[in-house]
Structure 1
Amino acid sequence: MNQYSNEHARSYYAASANGMAPYPTLAADLEADVCVIGGGFTGVNTAIELAQRGLSVILLEGRRIGWGASGRNGGQLIRGIGHDVSGFARHVGEEGVRYLERAGVESVALVGNRIREHGIDCDLRWGFCELANTKAQFAAFKAEQQGLAESGYAHETRLVGPEQIRQQVVNSGVYAGGLVDMGSGHLHPLNLVLGEALLAQSLGVQIFEQSPVLELIHGSTVQVRCAGGTVRAGSLVLACNAHLEELEPKLSGKVLPAGSYIIATEPLAPDVAAQLIPQNLALCDQKVGLDYYRLSADRRLLFGGACHYSGRDPADIEAYMRPHMIKVFPQLANVRIDYQWGGKIGISANRFPQVGRLSQHPNVFYAQGYSGHGLNVTHWCAKLLGEAIHVGHSQGFDVFSAVPHMTFPGGPMLRSPLLALGMFWYRLRELLG
């Protein structure tokens, strides 16, 4: 199965999309204040932020809106930037750390508000549970809950011990407890980005699909050349994440494309679904090669994980992922799998999103490397890009860009094998306790 044709992957999301009428292909020379390359969450929401500030925007997508990770991911809208941000205090200071902690919470609210204010139909449901695989992880959840309370976190959280977790959260015998967070949740990511693209278009953004960029000519006016025409703009946004590749090789080298995979079952009977995940929460465990899963609006189990750093996708995603699902839910041994798909997420070496502008071309901005926390953080980074481009300065942009962008060791040829070897070592340690 070809996951990387010019059309959407044959996923559950594509099959249940609210409408995927194509946008035109660029077929003329055009001008705008800003050109955005990339039609995922980062690009579409940056276009929204800029258009709301009165700038003219052209968005170019090489394939389809939501073709990449934005339209393929697990749909988990979870607080946090994706890393213990206290470790970046030497770069951003204590006030910067507090800002990053707030951003991890406020970014979720930003997504929820956009959905509500603009009536985007994407099956948003609140509720998420972090699952502990060990007693030590469950003990750490207690400290996490206390920290949330001390920070003034406005949403309900509750610890669920090993005695209650099967009845209250997930009907599986593999977990040592969990931390429920009602301020996080889950949704249909492709329908979200498709709805946001319609919002961007309604604000005057010109969107072009099937318009891969062939060449960038830098200067005070950036020229973005496609097969059918050239866009000239005062500023450029690179929102390509794991698919930037040779368009900007030095920046692309800061992000490792890693594979993640999902299977979707047949629709489960209402009583089976209710027994499986009683409160319809999104769930994610703490393993190195984590499992993440949830129920869809039509009661399918969407089960994902098995992050691959080797650069090679499994030949049969269902055969690869089903044993992971059965280990958690042996009661689903005979369930039919209706959909299987995968995609590339952008991993940064320090697991922190990379936001900034090119030093040699200060009118070229970028955001990438969300490392699995893209659903909320893309929207926040789009807000920062909109602020920085509009007025030339943004406190949040400055905080994010102050964190160094680390380069993976080994260069383009060896970075994936070296990281895969390192992850194998951590998984071996995990198995050996």
Structure 2
Amino acid sequence: MTWQSPIAPGVSWYQSTVTDRPEYPALDGSASADVVIVGGGFTGLQAAYNLAKAGTRVVLIDAVRFGDGASGRNGGQMGTGQRTEVEELEKTLGFERAKALFDLAENAKKHLLGFAETHGIDIEYLPGQLNVAHKAGWEKDYRDHVEITATRYGYKHMSFMDQAETSERLGSKRYFCGTRDTGTGHIHPLKLLVGLARVAAAAGASLHEMTPARSVTREGGKIVVKTDRGDIRADRALIACNGYIGNLEPVNAARVMPIRSFIGATVPLANHPEIIPGNEAIADSRFVVRYFRKSRDGRLLFGGREAYTADNPRDITQHIRRQIAELYPQLKDVEISHAWGGSVGITMPRQPFAREVMPGVTAIGGYSGHGVMLSNYCGKLFADDVLSGSGELDLLKTLKIPAFPGGSHLRKPLLFLALSWYALRDRF
């Protein structure tokens, strides 16, 4: 029987193509460690691997199975830079810090691909990403972005696409211009996640699924993570729950908000070679981003419908099919073989949150849609910080990430109103 995640709707196409997904035992009794990690996604598992291979005693727990959160269910697109474009970062942070954050993201990209290659993990990498404009009149902005990233940030892999080239590369006439980035690409995220867990376990990390953390406190100079079947005592801790933080730790929870995102996978499009003939990933300019790509076996993986509550729609397929048909009318009746969703962690400024939330306890999350490469790298940077100090992680720690307004009772309704307004603007 296919595993059905208790925290996210639908069985993903990723799950159906990962035939060997090991299970890890729940924690049974109390334990001690040098570092305890709460969260078994990319961040937590990368931290566990890098710490364990250096001889650090690591215990990692997750409330469900590894990959049930965003790390195993996302759109698979790597992107370039941070979620906030360099032009905006320069306005608020200045060129030097914006450039450092851009370089950090490039290091994250190299780390992900290098890690998969070193450990023989077939992540089904396909190169190329297109960022496209859904409104007319944005040509100058897109041209300027290509010029700025090349001349000021040293990134030479991006080119401008006019409407004709955009239409040809997408197989759709619904976009007006865009950029083509040959320095990035897209992956099968669950294959990376499963491979990463294997590597972390082989390095000596103690990994436990189906073990929710109930609290994180300091007692007698130690950090104590309480679970239903035992406590874990450690010198350091990492909270890497991202959009599934719940009420575990209030500083993190106030700054990382979950939003629901949904994806559908079609059957292979053997009769439609005009659709994304170069196999690039695509993300558009809507505030509620539509992101889509073709898998290695020729399916269209299409994401775009978001919800700003924890509720799940009754029919994911219906909404995804409608959005596909807007771009590709010839696919209005295409069979959607899989439809699924999950929670993405966002912050107010769409920048990652990394902070020591209590002595010895670091929280990292809020990747805001750029988590595939950033989350992996942030796990490594946390390990570097524990082992020898990490200047790159300090770049993220110094970012000003405010709490969402409204407190625990009003922030979700306020976010719903704000994001619904932006979604409405996307239509005009």
Same fold (TM over 0.5): yes
* Distance in 1 between residues matched to 2:36 and 2:343, nearest whole Å: 24
What's 1:194 paired with? 194
What's 1:419 paired with? 415
Q: Contact 1:130/1:178 (CA < 8 Å) preserved in 2?
A: yes
Matched to 1:170, the amino acid is: L
Q: Contact 1:6/1:64 (CA < 8 Å) preserved in 2?
A: no
CA apart distance, 1:4: 4.9
**SS of equivalent to 2:386:** helix
Which structure 2 residues correspond to residues 4-15 of structure 1 after superposition, within 5 A? 4-5=5-6, 9-15=10-16
Q: Contact 1:47/1:200 (CA < 8 Å) preserved in 2?
A: yes
CA apart distance, 1:87: 5.0
Which structure 2 residues correspond to residues 285-304 of structure 1 after superposition, within 5 A? 285-304=284-303
**SS of equivalent to 1:275:** coil
CA apart distance, 1:8: 8.7
* Distance in 1 between residues matched to 2:9 and 2:260, nearest whole Å: 16
CA apart distance, 1:251: 1.9
Q: Contact 2:8/2:341 (CA < 8 Å) preserved in 1?
A: no
1:380 aligns with 2:381: no
1:214 aligns with 2:211: no
**SS of equivalent to 1:349:** coil
What's 1:142 paired with? 143
CA apart distance, 1:21: 2.0
1:351 aligns with 2:347: no
Matched to 2:26, the amino acid is: T
* Distance in 2 between residues matched to 1:282 and 1:363, nearest whole Å: 39
1:366 aligns with 2:366: no
Rate the CA distance shift 1:89–1:6 in 2: closer, same or farther, 3 A: closer
Q: Which is worse superposed, 138-147 or 74-83? A: 138-147
Q: Contact 1:3/1:343 (CA < 8 Å) preserved in 2?
A: no
* Distance in 1 between residues matched to 2:175 and 2:20, nearest whole Å: 39
Cα displacement string for residues 190-226 of structure 1 (whole angstroms, at most 9, x for unaligned residues): 1111111111111111111111112333143212222
Q: Contact 2:35/2:57 (CA < 8 Å) preserved in 1?
A: yes
Matched to 2:383, the amino acid is: G
CA apart distance, 1:181: 0.5
Which structure 2 residues correspond to residues 123-162 of structure 1 after superposition, within 5 A? 123-151=124-152, 153=154, 156-162=157-163
* Distance in 1 between residues matched to 2:171 and 2:89, nearest whole Å: 38
Unmatched 5+ residue regions in structure 2? Answer: none
Matched to 2:380, the amino acid is: K
* Distance in 2 between residues matched to 1:11 and 1:338, nearest whole Å: 9
What's 1:332 paired with? 331
TM-score of the aligned structures, taking structure 2 as reference length? 0.94
Q: Contact 1:170/1:277 (CA < 8 Å) preserved in 2?
A: yes
Q: Contact 2:157/2:181 (CA < 8 Å) preserved in 1?
A: yes
Rate the CA distance shift 1:333–1:303 in 2: closer, same or farther, 3 A: same
Q: Contact 1:9/1:67 (CA < 8 Å) preserved in 2?
A: no
Q: Contact 2:381/2:392 (CA < 8 Å) preserved in 1?
A: yes
* Distance in 2 between residues matched to 1:111 and 1:182, nearest whole Å: 16
What's 1:408 paired with? 404
Q: Contact 1:253/1:412 (CA < 8 Å) preserved in 2?
A: yes
Q: Which is worse superposed, 310-319 or 342-351? A: 310-319
Q: Contact 2:288/2:426 (CA < 8 Å) preserved in 1?
A: no
Rate the CA distance shift 1:113–1:399 in 2: closer, same or farther, 3 A: same
Q: What is the aligned length?
A: 425
Q: Which is worse superposed, 15-24 or 342-351? A: 15-24
Unmatched 5+ residue regions in structure 1? Answer: none
Partner residue of 2:390 out of 369, 379, 394: 394
CA apart distance, 1:394: 2.2
Q: Contact 1:8/1:14 (CA < 8 Å) preserved in 2?
A: no
* Distance in 1 between residues matched to 2:209 and 2:8, nearest whole Å: 10
Aligned-pair identity (%): 33
Cα displacement string for residues 323-353 of structure 1 (whole angstroms, at most 9, x for unaligned residues): 1110011110121111111111011011110
Rate the CA distance shift 1:92–1:176 in 2: closer, same or farther, 3 A: closer
TM-score of the aligned structures, taking structure 1 as reference length? 0.93
* Distance in 1 between residues matched to 2:233 and 2:48, nearest whole Å: 16
CA apart distance, 1:91: 7.9
Rate the CA distance shift 1:7–1:334 in 2: closer, same or farther, 3 A: closer
